A = this chain, B = another copy of it.
Amino acid sequence: MSTIYDVARRAGVSPKTVSRVLNSDGPVGEKTRETVEAAMRELGYVRSNAARMMRAQKSGIIGLITGAISTKNQPSTQQGLPDLYIVQGIQRALETSGMTVMIADTAGRNDRVPHLIDTFLSHRVEGLIYVAEYHQEVNLPHLPDDTPLVLANCFDARGTPAVVPDDRRLQRDLVRRLIAAGHRRIAYLSLRPDMAAGRLRPLGYREALDEAGLSFDPALLQHVDFDQSEIGPQLLWDTIDRMLQLEQPPTVLCCGNDQMAMMVYGILRSMGRKMPDEIGVAGFDNYRAIAETLYPPLTTVDLPYNAIGARSGERLMQLISGDGRDDHSPVLVAGPVHWRGSVTELRPENVISFKTLREEKQ
The complex places the Cα of A117 from the Cα of B179 at a distance, in Å, of 52
Given known contacts A259-B293, A295-B233, A1 and B124 CB-to-CB distance under 8 angstroms? yes
Chain-B contact segment, one of A42-50, A314-322, A347-355: A42-50
Q: In this assembly, does A76 line the interface, its C-beta being within 8 Å of a C-beta of chain B?
A: yes
Q: Is the CB of B265 within 8 A of A76?
A: no
Asked if A118 lies at the interface with its beta carbon under 8 angstroms from chain B, I say yes
How far, in angstroms, from A54 to B54 measured CA to CA in the complex? 9
Q: Which of B51, B107, B146 contacts A91 (CB 8 A)?
A: B107
Contact with B along A80-102 (1 / 0, CB 8 A): 01001101100110010000111
CA distance A68 to B107 in the complex (A): 16
Kindly report which residue of chain B lies nearest to residue A260, judged by CB atoms. B293
Interface pick from A6-14, A155-163, A200-208, A266-274? A266-274
Q: Taking the complex as formed, is A361 at the interface, i.e. its CB lies under 8 A from any CB of chain B?
A: no
Q: Which of B69, B81, B229, B293 contacts A263 (CB 8 A)?
A: B293
A107 in contact with B92 (CB, 8 Å): yes
* Assembled-state Cα–Cα distance A87/B107 (Å): 11
Within 8 A of B (CB), among A98-136: 100-105, 107, 118-119, 121-124
A111 shortest CB reach to chain B, Å = 14
Which residues of B are found within 8 Å of A294, using beta-carbon distances?
262, 266
A84–B69 contact, CB under 8 A?
yes
A305, chain B: closest CB distance, angstroms: 9
Beta-carbon contact of B44 and A144 below 8 Å: yes
Q: Is A23 close to B, CB under 8 A?
A: no
Residues of B within 8 A of A70 (CB): 88, 91-92
Decide if A53 is an interface residue (CB 8 Å cutoff): yes
Cα–Cα, bound, A340→B21 (Å): 64
With a 10 A CB-CB cut-off, give which of A70, A91, A92 has the most chain B CB atoms.
A70
Is A73 in the interface zone, CB < 8 Å from B?
A: yes
Which 6 A-B residue pairings sit nearest by Cβ, starting from the closest? A266-B295, A50-B54, A46-B121, A103-B103, A50-B53, A49-B122
A213 touches B (CB below 8 Å): no
A190, CB-defined interface residue at 8 Å: no
8 Å CB contact of A229 from B59, B77, B292: B292
A residues neighboring B (CB under 8 Å):
1, 44, 46-51, 53-54, 59, 68-70, 72-73, 75-77, 81, 84-85, 87-88, 91-92, 95, 100-105, 107, 118-119, 121-124, 144, 146, 229, 233, 259, 262-263, 265-267, 269-270, 288-290, 292-296, 306
Distance from A51 Cβ to chain B, minimum over Cβ atoms (Å): 5
A73 touches B288 (CB 8 A): yes
A-B contact pairs, 10 of them (CB 8 A): A46-B122, A50-B53, A70-B92, A75-B292, A84-B84, A103-B103, A262-B294, A266-B294, A269-B269, A269-B295
Q: Give bound CA distance, A265 to B263, whole Å.
A: 12
A262 to B295 Cα, complex, angstroms: 9
Please name 8 further chain A to chain B contacts, defined as beta carbons within 8 Å, in addition to the given A72-B85, A73-B88, sorted by A numbering.
A1-B146, A50-B59, A69-B91, A70-B91, A91-B105, A259-B289, A266-B295, A267-B295
CB neighbours of A53 from chain B (8 A):
50
Q: For residue A262, which residues in chain B have a CB less than 8 angstroms away from its CB?
A: 262, 290, 293-294
Nearest CB on B from A310, distance (A): 12
